[in-house]
Chains A and B, each alone.
Chain A
Amino acid sequence: MLGPSTAWYLGVAAFLFGTGALGVLVRRNPLIVLLSLEIMLNGANLALIAFSRHAGNGAGQIFALAVMAVAASEVCVGLGLVVALHRRRLELDVDRLSELRG
């Protein structure tokens, strides 16, 4: 393989994952939390693709595509929630949304 070895890609993936985790834990706006979640998923995807290339195995790329599909579904539902919250005039702050009420 030309360029850096797999280890470098994995380092980037790890950093992305950590950054995404930090964002999930620290931010209060649910939209930003969803975005940070996307970062984490992308980090995982990068690791999968890197290992797939390293081992010459196609399963990694298949898995990454599945992850992308799932991420899309999850974002769809999550954004639906945000829209519903907004419609009910609730404050978009995960700290405030601490009670499960219909």
Chain B
Amino acid sequence: MIAGAWLCLAAPLGGTLLITLCGARISRRAAGWLSTISVFVAFAGAVWSFFGLRSHGSDHGSISTAWTWLQAGGFRPGLEILVDPLSVMMMLIVSGVGGLIVLYSIGYMDGDDEERRYFAYISFFVFSMLLLVQGGNLLLLLVGWGLVGLSSYLLIGFWHERPSAVAAAKKAFVMNALGDATMALAFFVLIAHANSLSFATSFATAGHLSSTTVNLVALGLLGGAVAKSAQIPLHTWLPDAMEGPTPVSALIHAATMVTAGVYLIARTHPIFEQARTIELVAAGLGTLTLLVAGLIALVQTDIKRVIAYSTMSQIGYMFLGAGLGAYANGMFHLMTHAFFKALLFMAAGVAIHALSGEQDIRKMRGIGQLMPWTRWAFLAGSLALVGLPPFSGFFSKDSIIAAALHAHWYGVILWVAALIGTFLTGLYTFRLYFIVFPGEPTPFVREHYHAHHGQEGPKTMLVPVGILTVLAVIGGWIQFAPIWTPLTTWLEPVARTLGVAEPTSWQEGLSSALAVALGLGGIAVAYLVYGTGRLAVPRLPALQRALEHKLYFDEAYDAAFYRPAAALATALRRGFEEPVVLAAGTDIGETAFDAGRLVRRLQTGLLRTYVLFLGTGMAVVAIVFLAVR
């Protein structure tokens, strides 16, 4: 079990190092397969750990320490990994879905000049994400957190000749850095009080901290989670991150990295439970995000951006679940979301790849006729996303909505909002489907479509899509609350659902029925408007413009943060750096010159002067001797 976990962690790292060290000596294909094999080996290790944990029977998991990493006074974090139900679940998701996506990348990135760099980066990302979820103490979690942010930056800006990609990478990194900073501050407080960052100790200490302190710690953790998971207000980086290659969007910005925030809340839930207000703030932010993202997704014209906003919205659901205390439900939705969102991205990627990089949905009309498999895959993913039975999304999403109903009086507000969200989900998802896939292919499509040896795409792309389609359909059958809940039971020892978030049967049933109904309603409206054109899009120019500008968040941040910072930097450059720092350099040189010039006057070149110095020296020495005796 422990060996499996270490294998899981080490394999992708080994893959990265191997690809980096071999450099141009291996072919691009070989690099791709090397990376894929390393991630699948990691998956094998995760499966091994899973079975080992099940047979082990230990409820709380075990920590395996490699060595003591730091030593600072009483603070001694070790290089340790944790194998418990929550971490094993994440390991399986990350390495499993990750492996499929890396396999897909072999086909997608084929022909790119810098393929090897891509595969090195993506293996490194998988390693970082595994470190994050396997970290046995908060310090290693933070290390993984930072490395994941770094990998994201490297991969978003992969096509670095594009200025938009570079800008997007920077934006993502800076916003994530904000979250990293708040998390680090929270950890500092914990170290100050508990002198340790191991899970057990810090959680135990959290119970003894004053209310303000624990609220601050929880707020810091929430800041990190919000930044990493692209929730409001730190969400503006995610749509721009679509500049990266599609597999990157699938892996990092759908299935794994952005879900790290949810994992964090589930992992550190003892701290959050001490700061219940903050936890509910998380739920509120999640709800707000799911509504706003859903609305913005209605007007987007880039296929990847629609899916990105959809991701934002679904993570809002996860935050809602985790924030209320339904950790297992949140994690369940994380799992099913990984399946169908990766599927959606990858299917879209097959279409984009076939059209040589075109992503505008208005131009991609009718491609379903030329690519039937992709069309069915996309449809399966969309149905799972909307949450219709028997697809996976139904089982996971409805539990969260029901939990909201059961929570306190404000839970009802969240419940209503979540239900509106399902309507929006149906609407924007099927808007996308009906615009892109059915119908007659446009002239653009006919002109630019090129099949791959008679098939819709290379096998390495189609096989993962197929596997994920199956998973998107059946992946939810692992739990059907409240009748059969093996997943909640599995996660029980480490992430017990709070009582307040356990809905009753009738609440579950009511929520499910309403959610399905609203989802179908959204699909229907989308069909009427975009599928058949019978209904027209309502004319609301102000709202349309606001949504197209993503509710002016980017402009607001620009005015509030960027402009003052730029003005301050310019002012400092003019007022301080040029006159003081740069001038200091020349001033020091000039002062040295002047001093030298002064001293040069002593060098008269006359013998008499030097004899005078002799005599003066003798006189001075005599005085000194006299004084000292």
Contacts and interface: CB of A to CB of B under 8 A. Distances in A.
- In their complex, do chains A and B touch, with some C-beta pair under 8 Å? yes
Interface of A: 21, 24-26, 28, 94-95, 97-98
A24 B611 contact: yes
Given A24-B611, A25-B615, A97-B607, 16 more contacts: A21-B615, A24-B608, A25-B608, A25-B611, A25-B612, A26-B608, A28-B608, A94-B606, A94-B607, A94-B608, A95-B606, A95-B607, A95-B608, A98-B605, A98-B606, A98-B607
B262 to A, nearest CB: 87
A25 B604 CA distance: 14
A94 B605 CA distance: 10
Interface residues of B, number: 7
A91 to B, nearest CB: 14
A24 B612 CA distance: 9
Contacts, number: 19
Interface of B: 605-608, 611-612, 615
19 contacts: A21-B615, A24-B608, A24-B611, A25-B608, A25-B611, A25-B612, A25-B615, A26-B608, A28-B608, A94-B606, A94-B607, A94-B608, A95-B606, A95-B607, A95-B608, A97-B607, A98-B605, A98-B606, A98-B607
A25 B607 CA distance: 9
A25 B608 CA distance: 5
A3 B612 CA distance: 37
B612 to A, nearest CB: 5
Nearest to A27: B608
A94 B612 CA distance: 14
The 10 A-B pairs of least Cβ separation, nearest first, read A98-B605, A95-B606, A25-B612, A94-B607, A25-B608, A21-B615, A25-B611, A94-B608, A24-B611, A98-B606
A88 to B, nearest CB: 18
Contacts of B612: 25
Contacts of A28: 608
Nearest to A25: B612
A28 B611 CA distance: 13
Contacts of A95: 606-608
A28 B612 CA distance: 13
Contacts of A26: 608
Contacts of A25: 608, 611-612, 615
Contacts of A21: 615
A21 B612 CA distance: 9
Contacts of B606: 94-95, 98
B621 to A, nearest CB: 15
B271 to A, nearest CB: 84
Contacts of B615: 21, 25
A24 B611 CA distance: 8
Contacts of A94: 606-608
Contacts of B605: 98
Nearest to B609: A25
A19 to B, nearest CB: 13
A28 B607 CA distance: 10
A57 B40 CA distance: 108
A87 B575 CA distance: 68
Nearest to B612: A25
B607 to A, nearest CB: 5
A28 B609 CA distance: 11
Contacts of B607: 94-95, 97-98
Nearest to A33: B608
A94 B611 CA distance: 12
A29 to B, nearest CB: 12
A26 B615 CA distance: 12
Nearest to B615: A21
A24 B615 CA distance: 10
**Looking at B608, B612, B615, which has the most chain A CB atoms within 10 Å of its CB?**
B608
Nearest to A95: B606
**Looking at B605, B607, B612, which has the most chain A CB atoms within 10 Å of its CB?**
B607
B355 to A, nearest CB: 87
A97 B607 CA distance: 8
A62 to B, nearest CB: 26
Nearest to A18: B615
A28 B606 CA distance: 10
A97 B608 CA distance: 11
A95 B611 CA distance: 12
A1 to B, nearest CB: 28
Nearest to B616: A25
A21 B608 CA distance: 11
A95 B605 CA distance: 8
A21 B615 CA distance: 8
Nearest to A24: B611
Contacts of A24: 608, 611
A67 to B, nearest CB: 19
A6 B612 CA distance: 30
B86 to A, nearest CB: 89
A26 B607 CA distance: 11
A95 B608 CA distance: 7
B105 to A, nearest CB: 80
A98 B605 CA distance: 6
A48 B144 CA distance: 90
A95 B542 CA distance: 94
A24 B618 CA distance: 15
Nearest to A99: B605
Contacts of B611: 24-25
A46 B514 CA distance: 128
Nearest to A97: B607
B615 to A, nearest CB: 6
A98 B611 CA distance: 13
A93 to B, nearest CB: 10
A86 B555 CA distance: 92
Contacts of B608: 24-26, 28, 94-95
A4 B622 CA distance: 27
A94 B610 CA distance: 12
A97 B605 CA distance: 9
Nearest to A22: B615
A74 to B, nearest CB: 15
B600 to A, nearest CB: 15
Nearest to A98: B605
